[in-house]
Structure 1
Amino acid sequence: MKNLIYIFVLGLFIYSCSATKNRDFNQQEVTANANDTVRIANDSLEYEIIVIEPGFNLFINSIARPRGYYTQSYLENKNKFLVQEYNSRVAQPFSYNPNLYIQEINYDSSVDYGYEVNYMLYNYFVFFSREYNQRFSVSTRI
């Protein structure tokens, strides 16, 4: 009788492992990422911002301050310091989580990227700091 219970539990375990075989987790992940991709590009200035972050699209459309709330010079000044600090964290993978700080941001403060790029970049930092509970020395609060 005791062996019958063990065989039954073993059979249930094997069945439960094979039940997940038909699920397509990668397709669900790709669909979620495709909906949360924000891309801004300008071929004449040769810049491009691509934000692939779950929840950022919702944040930019509902929570973030509207376009025109900040001046372009304000956003440029904030982005200058935020990018410097972000890039310094990318360079220190033992001090900061390398899964959060994956790649440096190429932002040249002497280039006029326009309002939209500066707006999206600043709001990405706001989203990033709120979503992952990261604090930068320059305030990114809304």
Structure 2
Amino acid sequence: MKNFVSFLMILMLAVSCSPQQKIADNKENTTIKPEKNEDGEWDIEVLDSQYDYFLNAIAQPMNMYSESYLKNKNTFLVSEWNSYYFSGRYRNVIESSIDYNPQEKYGLKFEYKLYQVFAYVQWKYGLKMNGLSQTDVR
């Protein structure tokens, strides 16, 4: 009887230590999609409190860029970001893909905020993004 109880306890310990299958299903709906705000403008929301600090204190001001320059950079950077996401590289930093259509006219403010997301990730996490200009790499 003593051996049976010991065996049962070891079996329960082994079962409780087995990996959960629900973790793998978490990747299904992890896409960042641009959305229009109440004013009808495209907007992106970043849920990291340090992003606002970065945007106001560290990032280059918006008037340093043209919309076409940012659109070209964002097209390349989104492609690079999504390739990292789908390949599984940098999983600790990149947790979602980005749904970005280069044919859509998002506006300067949105393009600027999206570009600064990539600069912020490099600033905070050290993830080198090849599409960033050298003036934005700090």
Q: TM-score, normalised by structure 2?
A: 0.66
Cα deviation per residue 1:77-102 (whole Å; 9 max; x = unaligned)?
00000000000111011xx1212111
Cα deviation per residue 1:107-130 (whole Å; 9 max; x = unaligned)?
100000000000000011101111
Amino acid at match of 1:129: Q
Structure 2 equivalent of residue 115 of structure 1: 108
Structure 1 equivalent of residue 48 of structure 2: 53
User: Equivalents in 1 of 2:73, 2:54: separation in Å?
Assistant: 19
CA contact (8 A) 2:118 2:129 kept: no
Does structure 1 residue 91 correspond to structure 2 residue 86? Answer: yes
Cα deviation per residue 1:33-78 (whole Å; 9 max; x = unaligned)?
xxxxxxx843576844110123111010111111211001000000
Amino acid at match of 1:111: E
User: Equivalents in 1 of 2:38, 2:101: separation in Å?
Assistant: 17
Structure 1 equivalent of residue 98 of structure 2: 105
Q: TM-score, normalised by structure 1?
A: 0.64
Q: How far off its partner does 1:136 sit?
A: 1.7
Q: What runs of 5+ residues in structure 1 fail to find an aligned partner?
A: 1-39
User: Equivalents in 1 of 2:122, 2:83: separation in Å?
Assistant: 16
Q: What's the Cα RMSD here?
A: 2.3
Q: Percent identity?
A: 32
Higher relative contact order (CA 8 A, sep 6+): 2
User: Equivalents in 2 of 1:120, 1:110: separation in Å?
Assistant: 18
Residue 47 and residue 114 in structure 1: after superposition, are their counterparts in 2 closer, same or farther (change >3 A)?
Answer: closer
Amino acid at match of 1:104: S
User: Equivalents in 1 of 2:46, 2:114: separation in Å?
Assistant: 9
Q: What runs of 5+ residues in structure 2 fail to find an aligned partner?
A: 1-34
Amino acid at match of 1:126: A
Residue 131 and residue 72 in structure 1: after superposition, are their counterparts in 2 closer, same or farther (change >3 A)?
Answer: same
Structure 2 equivalent of residue 29 of structure 1: none
